Structure 1
Amino acid sequence: MQLLSAAGLAAMLPGCTQLGASNRITLAHTLDEQHPVHLAMGRFRDELIRLSGASIAVEIFPNAQLGTERELVELVQLGAISMTKVSSLSLENFAPDMGVYSLPYLFDDSEHQRRVVQSDVGQEILEGLSKVLLKGMGHYDAGARSFYMTDGPVNTPADIRGKTVRVLPSEALVKTVETFGGAATPIAFGELYAALQQGVVDGAENNPPSVLSARHHEVCKYYSLDEHVSAPDVVVMSQSVWDSLNEEQQGWAKQAMATSEAYQRQLWRKASDEALAEIEASGVVVNRPDKAPFREAVAGFKAGFDGTRIGELAARIEAMSESA
C-alpha cells in the first residue's frame, strides 16, 4: 500500500470523518455528477439521512476533487474520508481475492454477477478487505469491458496482435491482452484521450458509459463488444469509520447501501444502453464479435489458476452459473 501520497492529501482535508467526532460521512469518487455511481451515492445519502433522522450528515465529492481512484482508496484507509467507489480491478492491488473478478469471461451475464456478489462468496471476498483497513459495503454494476480502437475493429483475438492497449493496472487484465497478442499499457484515465489522439496507444477497453463520458468515441471509431471482463465496482468505507459507528448506525448504513445498490443497477442498464446508442449514432462502427474464439484464447491462462485461491473462488463463482 502506498500511503505517502494519500497522507499528503489527507493533510489538506478538514479533519477526520469518524462518526464519534462529527456525525459526518464523506464520500468521494472520480466520476461526473450525471454518472449512475454519483446518482446512486446520492440515494445512499438520502436514505441514510432519512433512516438516521438527519443525525448523520453526508457529503459527496465527485469529479476526482479529492484525488485519483487509488488516492481515494488510500485516503479511506487512513480515515481521512469515509467512503469511495473503486473498481475491483484496481482493488486487487490492495486485496488479492479481488483478482478473481479480473478473470476474463468469469460471468455469463449481469444476472450471474448479481447472484455472485450477493452470495456467500461475494461477501467472503468483501470481508477480506478488512485486512487492508477497508470495510466492503457493497457492489455497483460496472457492465462489461470491451475493446475500442483507432484503426479498425476487433473481430477476433488476432486483431489485437501487435496493438498497444491501455488497461487498468490489473495483472489479470494485462495478461488477458497479452494472451490476445497485444501490449498492455496502464495509463491514467484522465490522460487517455490525449494518448489515443496522439497514437501513444492504439486503443483501450471499457464500458459504454465510460467511453462516452470521456469522449473517447471522438478518437476511437471502432468499438467491438467482445465483453472480455465484467468486473464489478466496490463501495468501501474506512474500517476506522465503520468501527466508530454503533450497531444501530451500522444497520442504517447497510440498509442505505442495499437501497443504493438496487438503484444503481437500475440506472446502469439504462445508462449503458443509451450510451451505446449515442456512441453508434456519432459514427462509431460498433460490432459484436463471436466470443467463442476469445474464450478459447484465454482458457489456458484461466486454467493456470487451478489449485490456487483465485482458482478456488473462480470455481465457486462458475458453479453459480445457470448453465453449470
Structure 2
Amino acid sequence: MRFKFFLLIIMCVSVISCEKSRDTKVLYLAHTLPQTHPVHKGILEFQRLLESKSNGKLKVKIFPDGQLGSERESLELLQIGSVAATKVSASILSNFVPEYNVLGIPYLFKDREHQFSVLEGPIGKSILEKGSKFWLRGLCYYDAGSRSFYTSTKAIRTPGDLKGLKIRVQNNQMAINMVNSMGGAATPMAYGELYAAIQQGVVDGAENNPPSFVSSNHYEISKYYTLDEHSSVPDVLLIGTKYWNKLSKEERVWVQEAADESAQAQKEYWRESVNESMKLIKERGVEVIIPEKSLFAEESKNVVVEFIKEFPEMAPLVNEIKNN
C-alpha cells in the first residue's frame, strides 16, 4: 500500500509537469468522498465554473473516493505540490491552523444563517488565509451540516444517556473533549474501520451528519439517531500555495470566483441530500430522536472554558463569532 501511495505521487508529479508545458493548465483535485456525496457535487460545480470562466485554459481533474489517500495524505500531497487542490474537514486543518479549532466548538453557531454569515464574512475569510504559511490556502467553505449522535443498542435522549458509551469521534481534541464532557468515552478511530467496529460492538456508536450516516451505510447497524446537532464543522476547499503562486492574477480571480459560486450551489445540494437522507433513515426503521438541545449545550460548556484556558489567544475570535 505504501509503495502504491508513493507511486501515485510520482505519477501525479510527472503528469502535472507535462500538462504545465502546454497552454492548458490542469488542476488536480483529490478528496475522500463518494461521488454521490453533495460535497462532491459542489466540487463538480467548481470544475464546471472554472473551465467556463477560463474558456478552457484551466481544467480540473478530480480524484474522488480516496483514490490518492486519506484527508491527511491529501494535505501532504498538496503541501509538496503533487496535487493542486483538495477538500478536507476543518477539524483536520486544526492540526495546522489553530483557528480552525474554534469552528468545532459545540453549539458555537446559533443557526445555519449565523454560521454562514460568519464563514462567508471577514472572520471566515481570515481563517482561510491563515493556512497559507503551511502551503494550504483556503478557497471556500462547503456545507457539511451538523453532527449528531447515532447508536446501536441504546437511545440517547439526554446527555446522561451517553454515560458508559464508547462513541467514535474524529482524531480531534475538541470532539474528544465534547463527548467526554457529556459522560461518554470518546474513541478516535479511522472512518473506514467504523462500520465493523459498530457491528462488532467495539464502539457503541458515533456522530455525523445525515448524508454521511446514509452514505456510510451506518444506518444498517445503528437503531437510533439523535438530532442534537452538537457541532457544525464545515468542509474546506483548499489550493496548494505552490500551485496558486504559479497562477496569473487573472487565473487566481477565476479560481476564487469558481470556488465562491460553487459553495453557494453546494449548499442547495446539501439541503436536498439531508431531506433525502432523513427520508431513507426513517423508512429503514431507524428511530429519529429530537432531544432538548439546551441540555447538551449546557453539558458541553466546559469544553469552551478548557479550550480558552489552553488557547487564550483564541478568546477574541470565539467572542467575535458569538457576537456576529
- TM-score tier, shorter chain, comes to over 0.9
Letter in 1 for 2:148: S
Q: What corresponds to 2:86 in structure 1?
A: 84
Letter in 2 for 1:234: V
Contact 1:17 1:79 in 2 (8 A): no
Q: What corresponds to 2:141 in structure 1?
A: 139
Runs of 4+ in 1 over 4 A off after TM superposition: 4-9, 18-22
Letter in 1 for 2:314: I
- SS of equivalent to 1:236: strand
Structure 2 counterpart of 1:313, from 309, 313, 317: 317
Comparing 136-145 with 40-49, which one deviates more in the overlay?
A: 40-49
Aligned-residue offset at 1:289: 0.4
Aligned-residue offset at 1:311: 2.2
Aligned-residue offset at 1:36: 1.1
Deviation string, structure 1 residues 67-95 (Cα, Å, up to 9, x no partner): 11111111111111111111011111121
Q: How do residues 261-300 of structure 1 correspond to structure 2 at under 5 angstroms?
A: 261-300=263-302
Q: How do residues 61-210 of structure 1 correspond to structure 2 at under 5 angstroms?
A: 61-210=63-212
Aligned-residue offset at 1:309: 2.5
Deviation string, structure 1 residues 255-286 (Cα, Å, up to 9, x no partner): 11111100100110110111011111100000
Deviation string, structure 1 residues 168-219 (Cα, Å, up to 9, x no partner): 1111110000101111111111111011101110000000000000000000
Q: How do residues 7-46 of structure 1 correspond to structure 2 at under 5 angstroms?
A: 9-15=8-14, 17=16, 20-21=20-21, 23-46=25-48
Q: What corresponds to 1:223 in structure 2?
A: 225
Aligned-residue offset at 1:151: 0.8
For residues 306 and 17 of structure 1, the distance between their equivalents in structure 2, rounded to whole angstroms, comes to: 43
In the alignment, structure 1 residue 258 sits paired with structure 2 residue 257: no
Aligned-residue offset at 1:57: 1.9
Contact 1:79 1:240 in 2 (8 A): yes
Contact 2:166 2:204 in 1 (8 A): yes
Deviation string, structure 1 residues 118-154 (Cα, Å, up to 9, x no partner): 1111111111101211111000000000000011211
For residues 272 and 132 of structure 1, the distance between their equivalents in structure 2, rounded to whole angstroms, comes to: 33
Contact 1:144 1:206 in 2 (8 A): yes
CA RMSD of superposed structures (Å): 1.8
Letter in 2 for 1:164: K
Aligned-residue offset at 1:44: 0.8
Aligned-residue offset at 1:12: 4.3
CA pair 80-245 structure 1, distance change in 2 beyond 3 A: same
For residues 255 and 135 of structure 1, the distance between their equivalents in structure 2, rounded to whole angstroms, comes to: 15
Identity of aligned residues (%): 41
- SS of equivalent to 2:44: helix
Contact 1:16 1:79 in 2 (8 A): no
Letter in 2 for 1:162: G
Contact 1:167 1:187 in 2 (8 A): yes
For residues 7 and 93 of structure 1, the distance between their equivalents in structure 2, rounded to whole angstroms, comes to: 23
For residues 213 and 41 of structure 1, the distance between their equivalents in structure 2, rounded to whole angstroms, comes to: 17
Deviation string, structure 1 residues 203-251 (Cα, Å, up to 9, x no partner): 0000000000000000001000011111111111111100010000000
For residues 98 and 6 of structure 1, the distance between their equivalents in structure 2, rounded to whole angstroms, comes to: 28
Q: What corresponds to 2:61 in structure 1?
A: 59
Contact 1:195 1:201 in 2 (8 A): yes
TM-score (norm 2): 0.94
What 5-or-longer segments of structure 2 have no aligned partner? Answer: none
Contact 2:148 2:230 in 1 (8 A): yes
Contact 1:163 1:182 in 2 (8 A): yes
CA pair 16-237 structure 1, distance change in 2 beyond 3 A: farther
For residues 174 and 234 of structure 1, the distance between their equivalents in structure 2, rounded to whole angstroms, comes to: 21
Aligned-residue offset at 1:162: 1.0
Contact 2:181 2:302 in 1 (8 A): no
